[in-house]
Amino acid sequence: MQILGIETSCDETSVALVEDGRFVRANLIASQTQLHAEFGGVVPELASRAHIQKLIPMIDECFFQTGIGWDDVDALAVTQGPGLVGALLIGVETAKALAFARRKPLIPVHHIAGHLYSVMLVDPERPVTILDAAGNETPTTDEPLTYPYIGLVVSGGHSSLVLVETPSRFKLLGETVDDAAGEAFDKVAKLLDLGYPGGPIIDGLAAKGDRARFKFPRPMLNRENFDFSFSGLKTAALKLVQETTLARLKEDEKLLCDFCASFQEAIVEVLLRKAAAALDFYELRSLAIVGGVACNGRLRRAVPEYVPGARVVFPPPILCTDNAAMIAGLAFHRAAGHDACTLTLNAEANLPLVAE
Protein backbone atom coordinates (compact mmCIF):
# COMPACT_ATOMS: atom_id res chain seq x y z
CA MET A 1 0.00 0.00 0.00
CA GLN A 2 1.38 3.37 -1.08
CA ILE A 3 0.58 6.43 1.07
CA LEU A 4 1.38 10.05 0.18
CA GLY A 5 2.05 12.05 3.35
CA ILE A 6 1.94 15.81 3.90
CA GLU A 7 3.40 17.64 6.92
CA THR A 8 3.18 21.42 7.41
CA SER A 9 2.73 21.85 11.17
CA CYS A 10 5.55 24.31 11.72
CA ASP A 11 8.47 25.52 9.62
CA GLU A 12 9.23 22.49 7.47
CA THR A 13 7.21 21.70 4.35
CA SER A 14 7.46 17.97 3.80
CA VAL A 15 5.99 15.44 1.37
CA ALA A 16 6.70 11.70 1.43
CA LEU A 17 5.74 8.43 -0.17
CA VAL A 18 5.86 5.44 2.17
CA GLU A 19 5.05 1.86 1.22
CA ASP A 20 3.27 -0.53 3.58
CA GLY A 21 3.83 1.77 6.53
CA ARG A 22 7.58 1.21 6.67
CA PHE A 23 9.54 1.68 3.46
CA VAL A 24 10.44 5.29 2.65
CA ARG A 25 10.31 5.76 -1.13
CA ALA A 26 10.72 9.54 -0.95
CA ASN A 27 10.86 12.04 1.90
CA LEU A 28 11.32 15.62 0.71
CA ILE A 29 11.80 18.35 3.30
CA ALA A 30 11.98 22.08 2.57
CA SER A 31 13.26 23.77 5.70
CA GLN A 32 12.35 27.42 6.27
CA THR A 33 15.19 28.01 8.74
CA GLN A 34 16.77 30.73 6.57
CA LEU A 35 13.45 32.51 6.24
CA HIS A 36 12.91 32.77 10.00
CA ALA A 37 16.55 33.15 11.11
CA GLU A 38 16.57 36.96 11.03
CA PHE A 39 13.58 37.02 13.42
CA GLY A 40 15.16 34.53 15.85
CA GLY A 41 12.11 32.25 15.71
CA VAL A 42 9.25 31.05 13.51
CA VAL A 43 6.96 33.80 12.12
CA PRO A 44 3.61 32.02 11.58
CA GLU A 45 2.42 34.07 8.57
CA LEU A 46 5.71 33.59 6.76
CA ALA A 47 5.58 29.88 7.49
CA SER A 48 2.08 29.53 5.99
CA ARG A 49 3.02 31.48 2.87
CA ALA A 50 6.12 29.36 2.27
CA HIS A 51 4.07 26.15 2.68
CA ILE A 52 1.66 27.37 -0.02
CA GLN A 53 4.51 28.07 -2.43
CA LYS A 54 6.31 24.77 -1.83
CA LEU A 55 3.67 22.11 -1.35
CA ILE A 56 2.36 21.34 -4.85
CA PRO A 57 5.78 21.50 -6.58
CA MET A 58 7.13 19.16 -3.88
CA ILE A 59 4.34 16.63 -4.48
CA ASP A 60 5.18 16.70 -8.21
CA GLU A 61 8.87 16.25 -7.37
CA CYS A 62 8.05 13.27 -5.14
CA PHE A 63 6.27 11.54 -8.03
CA PHE A 64 9.05 12.48 -10.45
CA GLN A 65 11.80 11.07 -8.20
CA THR A 66 10.04 7.77 -7.49
CA GLY A 67 8.24 7.14 -10.78
CA ILE A 68 5.14 6.60 -8.65
CA GLY A 69 1.97 8.25 -9.99
CA TRP A 70 -1.47 9.13 -8.67
CA ASP A 71 -2.84 5.78 -9.86
CA ASP A 72 -0.41 3.99 -7.53
CA VAL A 73 -1.34 6.05 -4.49
CA ASP A 74 -3.81 4.25 -2.21
CA ALA A 75 -4.40 7.04 0.30
CA LEU A 76 -3.28 10.46 1.47
CA ALA A 77 -2.19 11.29 5.00
CA VAL A 78 -1.86 14.72 6.56
CA THR A 79 -0.80 16.19 9.90
CA GLN A 80 -4.00 17.46 11.52
CA GLY A 81 -2.29 18.94 14.62
CA PRO A 82 -0.87 20.05 16.94
CA GLY A 83 1.07 22.96 15.47
CA LEU A 84 0.65 26.47 14.10
CA VAL A 85 -2.93 26.64 12.92
CA GLY A 86 -2.22 28.66 9.75
CA ALA A 87 0.60 26.30 8.77
CA LEU A 88 -1.50 23.19 9.49
CA LEU A 89 -4.39 24.60 7.45
CA ILE A 90 -2.27 24.71 4.28
CA GLY A 91 -1.49 21.02 4.55
CA VAL A 92 -5.00 19.96 5.57
CA GLU A 93 -6.83 21.98 2.89
CA THR A 94 -4.38 20.91 0.16
CA ALA A 95 -4.75 17.27 1.19
CA LYS A 96 -8.56 17.55 1.22
CA ALA A 97 -8.61 19.10 -2.26
CA LEU A 98 -6.27 16.45 -3.69
CA ALA A 99 -8.09 13.57 -2.02
CA PHE A 100 -11.41 14.85 -3.36
CA ALA A 101 -10.12 15.43 -6.88
CA ARG A 102 -8.26 12.08 -7.03
CA ARG A 103 -10.96 10.15 -5.13
CA LYS A 104 -8.56 8.87 -2.48
CA PRO A 105 -9.11 8.28 1.24
CA LEU A 106 -7.58 10.91 3.51
CA ILE A 107 -6.13 9.88 6.87
CA PRO A 108 -5.51 12.57 9.52
CA VAL A 109 -2.44 11.97 11.72
CA HIS A 110 -1.36 13.43 15.06
CA HIS A 111 2.07 15.07 14.75
CA ILE A 112 3.46 13.61 18.00
CA ALA A 113 2.11 10.14 17.15
CA GLY A 114 4.05 10.55 13.89
CA HIS A 115 7.29 11.41 15.73
CA LEU A 116 6.79 8.37 17.99
CA TYR A 117 6.40 6.19 14.89
CA SER A 118 9.52 7.59 13.18
CA VAL A 119 11.75 4.84 14.63
CA MET A 120 9.79 2.21 12.67
CA LEU A 121 10.57 3.64 9.23
CA VAL A 122 13.05 1.94 6.92
CA ASP A 123 15.39 3.94 4.77
CA PRO A 124 18.34 1.65 3.93
CA GLU A 125 20.68 4.61 3.43
CA ARG A 126 19.70 6.14 6.75
CA PRO A 127 19.07 3.37 9.30
CA VAL A 128 17.87 3.92 12.86
CA THR A 129 20.46 3.54 15.62
CA ILE A 130 20.04 1.11 18.49
CA LEU A 131 22.04 1.71 21.64
CA ASP A 132 22.12 -1.51 23.63
CA ALA A 133 22.50 -1.80 27.40
CA ALA A 134 26.30 -1.74 27.07
CA GLY A 135 26.24 1.46 25.03
CA ASN A 136 27.12 -0.21 21.70
CA GLU A 137 25.60 1.47 18.65
CA THR A 138 24.05 -0.73 15.94
CA PRO A 139 22.37 0.59 12.80
CA THR A 140 19.31 -1.42 11.80
CA THR A 141 16.62 -1.59 9.15
CA ASP A 142 14.70 -4.28 11.07
CA GLU A 143 11.86 -3.26 13.34
CA PRO A 144 13.96 -1.87 16.22
CA LEU A 145 11.38 -2.08 19.02
CA THR A 146 8.45 -4.16 20.09
CA TYR A 147 5.39 -2.60 21.66
CA PRO A 148 4.94 -1.35 24.30
CA TYR A 149 7.81 1.10 24.61
CA ILE A 150 8.44 4.47 26.23
CA GLY A 151 8.76 7.42 23.85
CA LEU A 152 10.59 10.63 24.71
CA VAL A 153 9.50 13.34 22.27
CA VAL A 154 11.84 16.33 22.37
CA SER A 155 11.52 19.11 19.82
CA GLY A 156 11.12 22.87 19.49
CA GLY A 157 7.45 22.59 20.39
CA HIS A 158 7.22 19.50 22.59
CA SER A 159 8.82 17.65 25.49
CA SER A 160 6.68 14.65 26.35
CA LEU A 161 7.03 11.20 27.81
CA VAL A 162 4.59 8.72 26.33
CA LEU A 163 3.78 5.06 26.91
CA VAL A 164 3.35 3.74 23.34
CA GLU A 165 1.13 0.65 23.42
CA THR A 166 0.52 0.23 19.67
CA PRO A 167 1.16 2.54 16.68
CA SER A 168 -1.97 4.44 17.64
CA ARG A 169 -2.59 3.75 21.33
CA PHE A 170 -0.81 6.01 23.78
CA LYS A 171 -0.75 7.10 27.37
CA LEU A 172 0.67 10.58 27.87
CA LEU A 173 2.79 10.27 31.02
CA GLY A 174 4.07 13.82 31.24
CA GLU A 175 4.92 16.92 29.25
CA THR A 176 6.50 20.29 29.71
CA VAL A 177 4.59 22.74 31.86
CA ASP A 178 6.29 25.69 30.14
CA ASP A 179 9.11 25.69 27.51
CA ALA A 180 9.97 22.68 25.38
CA ALA A 181 13.55 21.37 25.47
CA GLY A 182 14.33 22.64 21.94
CA GLU A 183 12.79 25.98 22.81
CA ALA A 184 15.14 26.24 25.83
CA PHE A 185 18.12 25.56 23.53
CA ASP A 186 16.85 28.18 21.04
CA LYS A 187 16.13 30.84 23.66
CA VAL A 188 19.49 30.46 25.42
CA ALA A 189 21.28 30.56 22.04
CA LYS A 190 19.45 33.82 21.38
CA LEU A 191 20.62 35.16 24.78
CA LEU A 192 24.16 34.28 23.78
CA ASP A 193 23.67 35.88 20.37
CA LEU A 194 24.58 32.60 18.66
CA GLY A 195 21.94 32.42 15.92
CA TYR A 196 18.87 30.29 15.12
CA PRO A 197 18.03 27.47 15.54
CA GLY A 198 20.14 27.32 18.68
CA GLY A 199 20.13 23.57 19.42
CA PRO A 200 22.71 22.48 16.86
CA ILE A 201 24.92 25.53 17.59
CA ILE A 202 24.96 24.89 21.36
CA ASP A 203 25.53 21.18 20.65
CA GLY A 204 28.63 22.04 18.56
CA LEU A 205 30.12 24.46 21.12
CA ALA A 206 29.29 22.16 24.04
CA ALA A 207 31.31 19.35 22.46
CA LYS A 208 34.45 21.42 23.20
CA GLY A 209 33.36 22.45 26.71
CA ASP A 210 33.51 21.29 30.33
CA ARG A 211 30.01 20.29 31.39
CA ALA A 212 30.86 20.43 35.10
CA ARG A 213 32.13 24.03 35.12
CA PHE A 214 28.82 25.77 35.84
CA LYS A 215 26.05 24.49 38.07
CA PHE A 216 22.66 24.74 36.34
CA PRO A 217 19.48 23.55 38.11
CA ARG A 218 17.93 20.15 37.23
CA PRO A 219 14.27 21.27 37.18
CA MET A 220 11.53 18.88 38.39
CA LEU A 221 13.98 16.01 38.77
CA ASN A 222 12.85 15.17 42.28
CA ARG A 223 9.15 15.49 41.62
CA GLU A 224 7.21 12.28 41.48
CA ASN A 225 5.70 12.86 38.08
CA PHE A 226 6.90 12.79 34.49
CA ASP A 227 6.36 16.47 33.66
CA PHE A 228 9.20 18.77 32.61
CA SER A 229 9.88 22.47 33.15
CA PHE A 230 12.66 24.32 31.37
CA SER A 231 11.82 27.98 31.89
CA GLY A 232 13.71 28.15 35.23
CA LEU A 233 16.79 26.82 33.49
CA LYS A 234 16.48 29.62 30.96
CA THR A 235 16.28 32.15 33.83
CA ALA A 236 19.39 30.62 35.43
CA ALA A 237 21.17 30.98 32.07
CA LEU A 238 20.07 34.62 31.81
CA LYS A 239 21.41 35.33 35.33
CA LEU A 240 24.74 33.73 34.49
CA VAL A 241 25.01 35.70 31.24
CA GLN A 242 24.33 38.92 33.16
CA GLU A 243 26.91 38.08 35.86
CA THR A 244 29.56 36.97 33.38
CA THR A 245 28.60 39.58 30.73
CA LEU A 246 27.94 38.76 27.11
CA ALA A 247 31.10 40.59 26.05
CA ARG A 248 33.31 38.23 28.11
CA LEU A 249 31.48 35.16 26.83
CA LYS A 250 31.98 36.37 23.27
CA GLU A 251 35.70 36.95 23.58
CA ASP A 252 36.53 33.86 25.64
CA GLU A 253 35.70 30.78 23.57
CA LYS A 254 36.57 28.34 26.35
CA LEU A 255 34.17 30.13 28.69
CA LEU A 256 31.39 30.05 26.08
CA CYS A 257 31.92 26.35 25.36
CA ASP A 258 31.90 25.52 29.09
CA PHE A 259 28.69 27.55 29.50
CA CYS A 260 27.03 25.66 26.62
CA ALA A 261 28.25 22.25 27.84
CA SER A 262 27.01 22.90 31.40
CA PHE A 263 23.63 24.19 30.21
CA GLN A 264 23.19 21.32 27.77
CA GLU A 265 24.07 18.76 30.46
CA ALA A 266 21.23 20.04 32.67
CA ILE A 267 18.70 19.45 29.87
CA VAL A 268 20.16 16.07 28.90
CA GLU A 269 20.27 14.81 32.48
CA VAL A 270 16.67 15.82 33.21
CA LEU A 271 15.34 14.30 29.96
CA LEU A 272 17.18 11.01 30.36
CA ARG A 273 16.62 10.56 34.11
CA LYS A 274 12.88 11.13 33.66
CA ALA A 275 12.82 8.66 30.78
CA ALA A 276 14.70 6.14 32.97
CA ALA A 277 12.14 6.67 35.75
CA ALA A 278 9.28 6.01 33.30
CA LEU A 279 10.97 2.79 32.12
CA ASP A 280 11.33 1.65 35.74
CA PHE A 281 7.76 2.56 36.64
CA TYR A 282 6.28 0.61 33.72
CA GLU A 283 8.90 -2.16 33.98
CA LEU A 284 9.95 -1.67 30.36
CA ARG A 285 13.42 -1.72 28.81
CA SER A 286 12.78 -0.05 25.43
CA LEU A 287 12.98 3.68 24.85
CA ALA A 288 12.62 5.67 21.60
CA ILE A 289 14.01 9.21 21.61
CA VAL A 290 12.49 11.27 18.79
CA GLY A 291 12.07 14.89 17.63
CA GLY A 292 14.65 17.53 16.66
CA VAL A 293 16.53 17.47 19.99
CA ALA A 294 17.15 13.73 19.48
CA CYS A 295 19.91 14.89 17.07
CA ASN A 296 21.87 16.18 20.08
CA GLY A 297 25.28 14.53 20.34
CA ARG A 298 25.53 14.55 24.12
CA LEU A 299 21.97 13.23 24.51
CA ARG A 300 23.02 10.18 22.49
CA ARG A 301 26.33 9.68 24.27
CA ALA A 302 24.86 10.16 27.77
CA VAL A 303 22.39 7.27 27.42
CA PRO A 304 24.56 4.57 29.07
CA GLU A 305 25.20 6.88 32.03
CA TYR A 306 21.63 8.00 32.73
CA VAL A 307 19.55 5.14 31.30
CA PRO A 308 21.70 2.09 32.06
CA GLY A 309 20.49 -1.29 30.90
CA ALA A 310 17.91 -0.03 28.41
CA ARG A 311 17.59 -0.54 24.68
CA VAL A 312 17.42 2.98 23.28
CA VAL A 313 16.51 3.77 19.69
CA PHE A 314 17.15 6.99 17.77
CA PRO A 315 15.86 7.75 14.27
CA PRO A 316 18.42 9.06 11.77
CA PRO A 317 18.66 12.89 12.00
CA ILE A 318 16.52 13.43 8.87
CA LEU A 319 13.65 11.59 10.59
CA CYS A 320 14.20 13.36 13.95
CA THR A 321 13.19 16.74 12.57
CA ASP A 322 9.71 17.29 11.14
CA ASN A 323 9.03 15.08 8.13
CA ALA A 324 6.12 13.62 6.18
CA ALA A 325 7.48 10.05 6.12
CA MET A 326 6.46 9.55 9.76
CA ILE A 327 2.96 10.81 8.89
CA ALA A 328 2.56 8.55 5.83
CA GLY A 329 4.07 5.59 7.75
CA LEU A 330 1.75 5.82 10.72
CA ALA A 331 -1.30 6.41 8.48
CA PHE A 332 -0.88 2.86 7.11
CA HIS A 333 -1.94 1.51 10.53
CA ARG A 334 -5.03 3.68 10.51
CA ALA A 335 -6.04 3.10 6.88
CA ALA A 336 -8.84 0.65 7.65
CA GLY A 337 -12.15 2.43 7.72
CA HIS A 338 -10.95 5.46 5.78
CA ASP A 339 -12.53 4.74 2.40
CA ALA A 340 -13.78 8.18 1.61
CA CYS A 341 -12.21 11.59 1.57
CA THR A 342 -13.25 13.54 4.68
CA LEU A 343 -14.11 17.05 3.57
CA THR A 344 -15.08 18.01 7.11
CA LEU A 345 -11.53 17.47 8.42
CA ASN A 346 -10.14 20.52 10.20
CA ALA A 347 -6.68 21.54 11.38
CA GLU A 348 -6.42 21.59 15.18
CA ALA A 349 -3.64 23.62 16.78
CA ASN A 350 -4.00 21.85 20.16
CA LEU A 351 -5.02 18.38 19.05
CA PRO A 352 -4.63 16.12 22.12
CA LEU A 353 -2.67 12.88 21.95
CA VAL A 354 -5.38 10.33 22.65
CA ALA A 355 -5.94 6.79 21.47
CA GLU A 356 -6.84 7.05 17.81
For ligand KG4, give the closer residue by CB, 148 or 200: 200
Q: Which of 19, 179, 265, 322 binds ligand KG4 (CB under 6 A)?
A: 322
Q: Of the listed pieces 88-96, 150-158, 263-271, 336-344, which binds Zn ion according to CB under 5 A?
A: 150-158
**Shortest distance, position 79 Cβ to ligand KG4, whole Å:** 10
Total number of residues that touch ligand KG4 (CB under 6 A): 19
244 near 263, Cβ under 8 Å?
Answer: no
Q: Does 81 bind ligand KG4 (CB under 6 A)?
A: no
DSSP 125: T
List, in order, residues 6 or more apart from 72 with CB less than 8 Å away. 2
Residues in the chain: 356
Q: Which of 174, 286, 296, 347 binds ligand KG4 (CB under 6 A)?
A: 296
What is the CB-side half-sphere exposure of residue 194 using CA atoms within 13 A?
25
DSSP-H helix ranges across 166-197:
181-191
Q: Does 160 bind ligand KG4 (CB under 6 A)?
A: no
Q: Does 185 bind ligand KG4 (CB under 6 A)?
A: yes
Q: How many CB atoms lie within 10 A of CB 213?
A: 14
Region class of 213: left (phi > 0), else alpha (psi between -120 and 50), else beta = alpha
**CA–CA separation, 295 and 319 (whole Å):** 10
Q: Does 108 bind ligand KG4 (CB under 6 A)?
A: no
Secondary structure class of 298 (helix, strand, coil): helix
**CA–CA separation, 66 and 73 (whole Å):** 12
**CA–CA separation, 246 and 192 (whole Å):** 7
Q: Does 295 bind ligand KG4 (CB under 6 A)?
A: yes
Q: Of the listed pieces 93-101, 142-150, 154-162, 302-310, which binds ligand KG4 according to CB under 6 A?
A: 154-162
Q: Of the listed pieces 66-74, 162-170, 247-255, 291-299, which binds ligand KG4 according to CB under 6 A?
A: 291-299
Q: Does 199 bind ligand KG4 (CB under 6 A)?
A: yes
Q: Does 7 bind ligand KG4 (CB under 6 A)?
A: no
Q: What is the DSSP string of 63-104?
A: HHHH---GGG--EEEEEEESS-HHHHHHHHHHHHHHHHHHT-
User: What residues between 152 and 171 interact with Zn ion by CB under 5 A?
Assistant: 155
Q: Does 265 bind ligand KG4 (CB under 6 A)?
A: no
For Zn ion, give the closer residue by CB, 186 or 322: 322
Q: Which stretches of the chain bind Zn ion, using CB under 5 A?
A: 155, 322
Q: Residue numbers of the site for ligand KG4 (CB under 6 A)?
A: 10, 155-157, 182, 185-186, 197-200, 203, 291-293, 295-296, 321-322
